[in-house]
Each structure stands twice: as structure tokens, then as C-alpha cells.
Structure 1
Amino acid sequence: MQIKEIISYLESWAPPSLQESYDNSGLLIGEKDTEVSEVLITLDITEDVIDEAIDTSANLIIAHHPFIFKGIKRIGNTHWIDRCIRKAIKHDISIYAIHTNLDNVHTGVNKKIAEKIGLENLSILQPKNETLSKITVFIPSENKQEVLDAMFEAGAGNIGNYDHCSFQVAGTGTFRGNEDSNPTIGKQGEVEEVSETRAEVLVPNYRLGAVLAAMHRAHPYEEVAHFVTQLSNTNQEVGSGMIGELPEAMESEAFLSYLKERMQLKMIRHTDIVNQSIKKVAICGGSGSFLLGAAQRKKADIFITGDFKYHDFFEANKEIIIADIGHYESEVFTKELIQDALTKNFTKFAFRLSQVDTNPIKYL
């Protein structure tokens, strides 16, 4: 198996186009055509992780956090990033990062946290806009189902918990082929009238190319009449954070103890217990303070994330409990998430979890 096969699967799950503008996900070191010997999955890239890859004969490291964010003008030996780059290249180890694109998909990082806590009725806390398009295509009525099925298979027609969604209107299409045409129906130079269906489907922008290709392959016409409309609609399947509910409300302090156990925490920094019970829970893996307002607007009882600054805690405004469990602690189970997804797709290949504790923060 080559690295590009693993990348192809990962990017069908968490498309690179969904990463934030500041991010640097993707293949950071290495070549896609390299044959894979062993894969090591980690949260962070450190020198110790690269040493672990060397010791286990892994030539591909899959990390959640990229370790190269800014432009590098020279590679020396005085900074840890330089040393990681040098060591990885020296030992022919490729490094791939799947970061905010995995944060932003509804089956990604936050879904894993929700599962650990036992939340139900999940939805994206702050869905993204302008990530959807609408394809309108005109199909001979007798061929409409095979064309639509091909488009659905390629990723069109999903709205929330529903798939195969479309809008269809019957009508009459007219055309006349010129001397260079090769019409499926009718003859050159003659006007034809055909019973057609105008079909409209939604498609995520990152699947637009694949859906259009499937449409063209399945459509019987030499020239396919269609158009694409960019939408400003909110995409409920893509965005930041997640919100859900506990099966049964819990007393607040009992919930914090439960959270500590489920997420294997050494400590929780939290604001005043302004809600005596917890039912609705908002979460965001990593640094999620920017989502506090969204959690408040959706009436969450508690917001769980990491990296809250001192003054930002005041913004709880006695409306919500903020629980800062730490950046590393909130995302450490992402390793399991990636391993489980890859193992299900590549059943005859073993994916190893890093045993290195990459958390730079220590507790007494």
C-alpha cells in the first residue's frame, strides 16, 4: 500500500478544503508514492515521537496537529522543529497532519468527545456558511433515476439526517444539433423535443468535482445542460464544536466528577456552578473560547473546551459553566478516532498508536 491510498481515504473523510485559513494540514514531509511499512498515529509531532517511529520501523506518522505552521527560511539544529524535520528526512519518515479539517466534520474530533461523555441528539455548535452548492441538471425523463443515483453516490443530495434529496420538475427540452454534433436522440439539423426532468440537488463544495464527473458519466447526452449555483446556506454537517444532551440530567458537581473520569483528567478549571444540574452540553476540542457565545445562545448548561484565558472566564456572565479541561486532554482521544477509522477501511493493515505523552504541560 502506498501513502496516497491512506491520504485519499483520510481526505474523503476530512477534506483539506475544510481546514481553517491559518492551518497547514496535509502531507508535510514525504512523497505520496512511497510504500507504507508501518503507520504511527499521534496527537503531536515531537522528537520523541519520531524516535518511536524509528524504533517501530514506521515510515508514516499521522498527526492531528501540524508541527510546521509558518514559513521556514533555514533548517538548523537549534530549534525542535528543525530537529524534527532533519530526523524525519534522514530516516525517510513521512508526516501527514489532519487538523482543523478533522475538527470541522461532524464525524470528527468533537464527535469522539461527545461519545466519551455519552451525549445524545448531537449537532454542530457553530455550522459554517458558504460550503454548499446547488446543481441544476436537465435529464431525459427515462434516464433521470440513473443520473441522480450516480450523483447521490458521488456525494450529492444529503440534508441533515436525509439522503437522496432532490427537487424535480417535468418539462420539455428542445435542441438542434449542428453538423459536428452526434446527438443521442434525433438527427443533425433537426429540432427535437424531448420529455425532460429538471433536477436540483445540494452538494458540498468539496464534492462538487466528483458529483459533476459522475453526472457527466451517467448522462446520455453529448452535451449536458446544467448549471451550478453557489449557496450561502448554513451547512449543518460542517463547522466548529458540537452540542448535545445527556440521557438524564446530572447534578453539576457530580457531572464534573464524571467528566474527570470519562476524559481521564487530572484537573478541571471551571467557573462558578451557576447551574445546579447539567443536561445540555457544548464541547470543542482544543482551543474553543471563540465558541462561548454560540454555547450561550444555544442555552448550554456547560461548555467544555481548552485554553481559556483568565479574562475570558468572566464572559460566562453567570449564564453558563465553563470547564477548561486542557488542550491536550480534550483531544488525546483523537488518536483512537483516526486509528478506528483507518482500521475499518484498511482491514489487513495495523495502525499503531503512539505511546509518547506529547503534552507539554505538566502537573504537580
Structure 2
Amino acid sequence: MKLDEIVSYFEELAPTAYQEEYDNAGLIVGDASMEVKAALLTLDVTPEVVLEAIDKGANLIISHHPIIFRGIKKFTGSSYVEKTVAAAIKNDIAIFAAHTNFDSMMGGVNLSIARKLGITDLEILQPINNGLFKLVTFVPVDSVEKVRDAMFKAGAGQIGGYDCCSFGSEGFGTFRAGDNTHPYVGQKGEMHREPEVRVETILPKNILARVVEKMIEAHPYEEVAYDIYPLEIPYRQVGLGMVGNIEEPVASVDFLRQVKEVFGAGVVRYTALSRQVIKRVAFCGGSGASLIGKAIESGADIFITSDIKYHQFFDADGRIIIADIGHFESEQFTIELFYEYLLKKFPTFAVLKSRVNTNPINYL
């Protein structure tokens, strides 16, 4: 199998267009045209993980955290990053990462937390506000269904649980065809007035180019007029964190014990138990301190995340319980999702889970 097939699949699953600005998700080491024999899945890439890949015959490592976030100016082996990348290149091992783009998807990192804790009725805690566009085109009456269907098949028109969403309004388009044109209707050199339908639909930015391409292919006009508008409305299918409900209320301290056990946390740091029972749970795998306000607004009884600083715990202010379970602990089950998605798409491809514990933190 070509590496590009896996890269393309992940781009459909978790488009890099949705990664945070600081991030470096995607193919980091390797040639997209190379043949891959097996993939090793890990949360982090370290020299030990590269050695494991060599030992297991895997020439692709898929990680959650990118091994490189910023540019590297030297390869002297003076840091674990340089050692890791050098070892991968030397042994023809590709490295691919799906990070904050995977964090932001409904089926991403936070889904693994929800599954482990039995949280349902899931919603994105902080939807992105720049992920949707409106595409408008003008179509002769006899071609409206063909053009609209082409846009729908390319993925446009999805609003929550509804698909094939669009709007049409009738009007007239005017044009005059030049000498070197081949007009679908009208005559060269003559002003033409054609009954048309303004067709508009909504779509996420990661499929914009594909939808426009399919729309143009289906449109009968030689020169297709269309407009693209960015929409400043929340895209509730993509964003950071999640919130949902557990089936039966659980005493706060019992829920914290459950969380500690499920995630194998060496310690759980938490604020005062301002709620007697837990019913509504907000959570964010990885560093989620920036979402404390959103968690409170969501009406959650508790917010589970990691990397909370001392003064940030004060933000709970009796309005919510904040529980820090550790960065590694909160994201460790991401590997299970990678495994599930890859085997579903490529059932005969060799996918392996790393046995290296890459958590750099120990607890007494």
C-alpha cells in the first residue's frame, strides 16, 4: 500500500485545515509515494518507539503528538527530537501525526473519553466559528437538479442531522457571448436573458475545493458564475472539547474514583466538590484549561482535562468541579481509535499498537 492512501484517508477523517495554528499535523517524515508494510500506533514518537518499529517490521509510525512542532536547524543528536527523526530517516521509517485536527472531530480524541466513561448526548464544547461556507451558483432551470445533486454527492448541504440542504430562488441571468465562446444558450454577439435559479448551499471548508469542482463539472455553462461566502456561525461538528450526560447520577467522589481507575491516573488533582452528584460531564483530552469558561457555560457538573495551572483551579469558583487527570492519561486511548479507523478502512493492512510507555511523568 502507498503511504499516500493512508495520508489521504486521515485527511478525510480529520482534515488538517482544522488543526490549531501552532500545530504540525500530517506527514512529517517520509515520501507519500513510498510503500508501507505495517503501521505502528503511538501517542508520542521517541527513539524507543522507532526501535520498536524496526523490530516489528513497521515502516510507518502514526502518532497523536507530532515529533516536530517547529523548524529544526540542526541534526546533531543533541535532543530526543533530533535523535528520533534521524533514526527514522536512517531506517526509512515514515512518521505521520494526527493531533489537534483529530482533537477537533466528533469522532476524535474526546470520543474515546466519552466511551470509557459512558457519556452520551455528545456536543462540541467550543465549536469553531470559521469552518463553514456558503456556495452560491446560478443555473438554467433545466439543469438545477443535476447541479444540486452533484454538490450534495460531493458533501455539501449538511446541517446537523440533515443532509441535502439548499435553497433556490428564481430570477434572470444576462450575458453576451464573445466570438471565441461556445454558449449553452443564446447566440454569439447577442445579449441573452435566461431564466435561472440561484442555488445556494452550505459546506465545511475542508471540502470546498471538491464541491466547487463537482459543481462546475455538472454545470452546463462554459463559464460558471458562483460566489463563496465565509459564514461567521458555529460549526458544531468541529471544535475543542465535548460535553454530555451519564445515564444515572453518580456521587462526585465515586465518579472521581471511577475516572482515576479507568484512566490509570497516578493522581487526580481536583477542586472542591461543589456538586453532590455528577450527571453532566465536560471533558477535553490534552490541555483544556482554556475551556474552563465554556465548561461552566455548558452546565456541566465536572470538567475533566489536564495541564491545569495552580491559579486556573480558582476559576472553578464553586460553579464546577475541575479534575486534572494528566495529559498522557487523558489521551492514551487515542491509539484505540486510530486502530479502529485504520482496520475499518484497510482490513488487510498490518496495524500494530506500540507497547512503549511514552509518558514522561512518573508518580510516587
User: Is structure 2 residue 39 aligned with structure 1 residue 39?
Assistant: yes
Aligned residue in 1 for 2:195: 195
Which range moved further: 340-349 or 253-262?
A: 253-262
- Compute the displacement of 1:23 (Å): 0.8
Counterpart residue number, 1:243: 243
> Deviation at 1:186?
3.3
Structure 1 residue 147, shift from structure 2 partner: 1.3
CA deviations over 1:233-278 (Å, ceiling 9, x no partner):
2211111101111122222122222223333434322111110011
2:242 counterpart SS class: strand
Match of 2:292 in 1: 292
Alignment partners' CA distance in 2, 1:2 and 1:195: 48
SS at match of 2:249: strand
Q: Residue 132 of structure 2 contacts residue 204 of structure 2 at CA under 8 Å; is this kept in 1?
A: yes
Q: Does 1:86 align with 2:86?
A: yes
Q: Secondary structure at the match of 2:151?
A: helix
- Residue by residue over 1:199-236, the C-alpha shift from the partner in whole angstroms, topping out at 9 and shown as x without a partner, is 11111122111111011111111111211112222211
Separation (CA, whole Å) in 2 of partners of 1:134 and 1:310: 43
Amino acid at match of 2:139: I
Q: With structure 1 as the length reference, what TM-score do the two structures score?
A: 0.96
1:311 counterpart letter in structure 2: H
**Does 2:340 match 1:340?**
yes
Residue 327 of structure 2 corresponds to which residue in structure 1?
A: 327
Query: SS at 2:347's partner residue?
Result: coil
Supply the AA of the counterpart residue of 1:320.
Answer: I
> Residue 292 of structure 1: CA displacement?
0.4
Letter in 2 for 1:198: R
**Which amino acid is 2:216 matched to?**
H
CA RMSD in angstroms comes to 1.4
Deviation at 1:110? 1.1
Q: Which residue of 1 aligns with 2:135?
A: 135
Q: Are 1:317 and 2:320 counterparts?
A: no
Deviations 1:58-91 (A, max 9, x none): 1110100012122212111232111111111110
3-state DSSP class of the match of 1:182? coil
Mean Cα deviation higher: 90-99 or 151-160? 151-160
Task: Give 3-state SS (helix, strand or coil) of 2:294's partner.
Answer: helix
Give the aligned residue type for 2:135.
I
In the other structure, the counterpart of 2:102 is: 102
Match of 2:231 in 1: 231
C-alpha separation in 2, matches of 1:262 and 1:148: 47
Q: Which residue of 2 aligns with 1:76?
A: 76
AA at the equivalent of 1:79: S
Give the AA of the match of 1:307. D
Aligned to 2:158: 158
> Take 1:188 and 1:351, find their aligned partners in 2: how far apart are those partners?
60
Q: Out of 256-265 and 74-83, give the one that drifted further.
A: 256-265
Query: Is the partner of 1:127 in helix, strand or coil?
Result: strand
Deviation at 1:5, TM superposition (A): 0.8
- CA displacement 1:13-54 (0-9 Å, x = unmatched): 111111111111111111111001111111000111001000
Q: Is the 8 A contact 2:37 2:350 kept in 1?
A: no
Letter in 1 for 2:164: H
Measure the CA separation in 2 of the matches of 1:80 and 1:263. 27
Find out whether 1:269 has 2:269 as its counterpart.
Answer: yes
| Aligned partner letter, 1:158 | Q
Counterpart amino acid of residue 2 in structure 1: K
The one-letter code of the counterpart of 1:194 is E
Q: Between the two proteins, what is the percent identity of the paired residues? A: 49
Structure 1 residue 112, shift from structure 2 partner: 2.0
Aligned residues: 364
* Structure 2: gaps of 5 or more residues: none
Shift of 1:156: 1.3
Structure 1 alignment gaps of length 5 or more: none
For 1:278 and 1:361, how far apart are their aligned partners in 2? 29
TM-score by length of 2: 0.96
Instruction: Report the 3-state secondary structure (helix = DSSP H, G, I; strand = E; otherwise coil) of the residue aligned with 1:201.
Output: strand
